[in-house]
Chain A
Amino acid sequence: MIVEANTVKFDSIKLDSGATLAPVEIAYESYGRLNAAKSNAILVLHAFSGDAHAAGISHDGGKPGWWDNMIGPGKAFDTNKYFVFCTNVLGGCRGTTGPSSINPVTAAPYAMSFPVITIGDMVRLQRMLVDHFGIPKLLAVAGGSMGGMQALEWAVSYPDRVVTSLPIASTVRHSAQQIAFNEVGRQAIMADPDWNGGNYYDSKPPARGLAVARMVGHITYMSDDSMREKFGRRLRDKEEFGFGFDVDFEVESYLRYRGSQFVNRFDANSYLYITKAMDYFDLAAGDRPLAAVLGAASARFLVISFSSDWLYPSYQSQEIVRALRSMNRDVAYVELEANYGHDSFLVDVAEQANLVRGFLASTFERVA
């Protein structure tokens, strides 16, 4: 399945901060066919560093999508049955308007003049696309991590537009620890002299800072177990320590490689904006308690967490479940045994796939 991203342009979007962004573009990929009743649409929502390329093989880079093991013919999100689409988030750097986009007023990249965006803004832009498609109600909104935040936001902001919501390895708000890791990433970028106050688009990007930020991120996505299994204390291409500060350990080599690769595909300013949006996200930020906020949702929920995920620990998922239960909402929840830490929802998907497949099928039967 060779796939290609499309882009839709809207005149403007009003943001939570009060600012207006005009115009605004949203990039998306889609798989499968929308049925005549438009009742089989599933919006898949990417995590922090993902993009619209969720499935299939990209026509330019030849790369599989980030959830290709979950989306496709006969897979959990079965494209023989469902119309599945995924957008790049607002503030991103993969086709949707973000800080690296050209500001039509100045004819230069927005850089740090880009308005601060929220998870709510991302979802509002997605809703504009859903309206553009003429889809009255999404069969499912589904995603892991930051994708799960959007799935929650969808369910409470547009309750009549969502049949089911699947927040996976996610939370209703970032903890101090999660904010702290994001802040380390942001500081690494901003401490790089090449960042230059965000104005680097016509010179060198802050590659070192962005790579360090990504290295920290990768550590938080894995688990002690999975790192021990994958790297242990193995040395990289050597039998003895080098007694210097070049790469000695396999894990150092891996992190450096991942860091340097990331620089090629991700914009440092997008890193700042999107992590900020995640840190600001709080489903129950106002006066209403979480249960009242989630009680406004009418969707059926499937909440999944992973035993070894210490970045988005199970207690955060259980908080969602408890609030929904206290409002007597329809919610299924399981903590899956998986060794890969937060990354489990991307890599260890066999059981997750069975859950999602059955959950979607039983819901689709009811609405179809």
Chain B
Amino acid sequence: MTAETSKKHEALVQELLGRSDYTIIGEIIEPGSKVLDLGCGEGELLAWLATNKRVDARGVEISGSKVARAIARGVSVYQSDIDQGLADYPDQAFDYVILSQTLQETRHPQQVLREMVRVGRRMIVAFPNFGHWRTRLSMLVSGRAPRTKLFPYAWYDSPNIHFLTVQDFEELSAMEGWVVERRYFLSGKRKVRWMANLLTEVAVFQVRGK
């Protein structure tokens, strides 16, 4: 793929999915692979991957109405909570296990990540970076639980129960002995080149087990 077509491709995915982490994920996934998307919503990403990358696409989603819409668009999604949803799968059942912007909502993130490493050859984890300067500033200035574009909720009705930063994820990976193969740091649609922990809004990690 030339730089030109790559750019077009990125723009297309961007338009299609409207989420920068999806663009990155679309780039990473190899054609024809087996993919499991955790917290897949209405299956937008999976449907796109199935059509454009001919992947064998599966998904897990807790909301029944979202699962229904995903199945209606032809994606094999099952209704389950992520914290428990992986236990049934055999080891290394997938080439990629995706967790996109949901890690901070899980009850036992470490357990979920370990399960992802077990059932997939690689995991792709995208999450909003709690270490972004705006988040830090919001808390410093307001003296209250931070509310920003990335974390728009009041503390009492936020789905986010485990906040983490780019640095936190790097440290957990090192502690677990996982290998970070690729990292993408995004601020809006731009890639962050330096001071990732301070400037990244959304981080995407590609990780494999030991």
Contact A351 B76 (CB under 8 A): no
Give how many A-B residue pairs fall within 8 Å (CB-CB). Answer: 66
Contact B71 A302 (CB under 8 A): yes
Contact B68 A336 (CB under 8 A): yes
Which of B14-22, B85-93, B126-134, B191-199 contacts the other chain?
B85-93
**Is B73 part of the binding interface, using a Cβ–Cβ cutoff of 8 Å?**
yes
**Is A7 part of the binding interface, using a Cβ–Cβ cutoff of 8 Å?**
no
Contact A325 B64 (CB under 8 A): no
Bits for A111-155, please: 1 = Cβ < 8 Å to B, else 0.
000000000000000000000000000000000000000000000
**Is B159 part of the binding interface, using a Cβ–Cβ cutoff of 8 Å?**
no
Bits for A349-363, please: 1 = Cβ < 8 Å to B, else 0.
001001101110111
Bits for B50-90, please: 1 = Cβ < 8 Å to A, else 0.
00000010100000110111111111111110000000111
**Residue on B with the closest CB to A327?**
B90
**Is A190 part of the binding interface, using a Cβ–Cβ cutoff of 8 Å?**
no
Contact partners of A358 in chain B: CB under 8 A:
71-74
Contact B64 A336 (CB under 8 A): yes
Contact B64 A337 (CB under 8 A): yes
Contact A330 B90 (CB under 8 A): no
Interface size of B in residues (CB-CB distance below 8 Å): 22
Contact partners of A361 in chain B: CB under 8 A:
74
Contact A335 B90 (CB under 8 A): no
**Taking the nearest CB of chain A, how far is it from the CB of B63, in angstroms?**
10
**Residue on B with the closest CB to A322?**
B88
Contact A332 B76 (CB under 8 A): yes
Main secondary structure of the interface of B (DSSP, over half): mixed
Bound CA–CA A334/B76 (angstroms):
10
**Residue on B with the closest CB to A300?**
B76
**Taking the nearest CB of chain B, how far is it from the CB of A319, in angstroms?**
11
**Taking the nearest CB of chain A, how far is it from the CB of B167, in angstroms?**
35
Contact partners of B65 in chain A: CB under 8 A:
337
Contact A334 B90 (CB under 8 A): no
**Is A326 part of the binding interface, using a Cβ–Cβ cutoff of 8 Å?**
yes
Partner of A355, one of B68, B88, B89, B93: B68
Contact A321 B78 (CB under 8 A): yes
Contact partners of A363 in chain B: CB under 8 A:
74
Q: Tell which of A354, A361, A362 has the most Cβ of chain B within 10 Å.
A: A362
Q: Tell which of A302, A326, A332 has the most Cβ of chain B within 10 Å.
A: A332
**Residue on B with the closest CB to A302?**
B71
Q: A326-B90, A336-B68 are in contact. Are A331 and B78 (CB under 8 A)?
A: yes
Contact A325 B67 (CB under 8 A): no
Bits for A300-340, please: 1 = Cβ < 8 Å to B, else 0.
10110000000000000000011001111011111111000
Partner of A332, one of B56, B64, B78, B88: B78
Contact B76 A357 (CB under 8 A): no
With A328-B90, A330-B56, A359-B74 known, 7 other A-B pairs at CB within 8 A are A325-B88, A331-B76, A333-B78, A354-B72, A355-B71, A358-B73, A359-B72
